[in-house]
Amino acid sequence: MPRILDGRILLLVISFLTSLRSTKVLSEWKKCGDRECETAMSRVRTTTDYLGPDCRYLNFKPGEEITVYSKLSRKNENLWTGSKGKDFGYFPKDAVKVEQVLIAEEVEVLTKETDFLCLHGDKYTFE
């Protein structure tokens, strides 16, 4: 009986660690204005209040302007990334209205682990 219980606990721990790993990366693919995701894609205006779940997300109130640099694709198409002043992060595309498109064609590229880091002071935190 103890071996069966040990096996179940091991499976439970493995399952838990696997689910934690899968929540770190929000999507494996993103669309950008260029291969390095340095070109602004569009400018949007926020339409609602938004408070993100962690430091990877932008917080905003209605009427603020965000410059969009990438859009997650395939697995999680509802999140875009952009900057508002000196803040940079993810936000739901449904919370904004596109005001100006700045690029003609989007390029799909693989995301990197660094796309999902939080910046706290001088150090990065991986959520």
Question: pLDDT confidence of 117, banded at 50, 70, 90?
Answer: confident
Domains and CATH numbers, the chain: 27-105 (2.30.30.40)
Asked whether the beta carbons of 85 and 109 are under 8 A apart, the reply is: no
Helices (H), 1-127: 2-24
Distance between CA atoms of residues 77 and 42, nearest Å: 16
Q: Does the structure show a pLDDT above 80 at 9? A: no
pTM of the predicted structure, to 2 decimals = 0.75
- What average pLDDT score do residues 99-116 get? 93
What's the pLDDT tens digit per position in 58-86?
Answer: 999 999 999 999 999 998 899 999 999 99
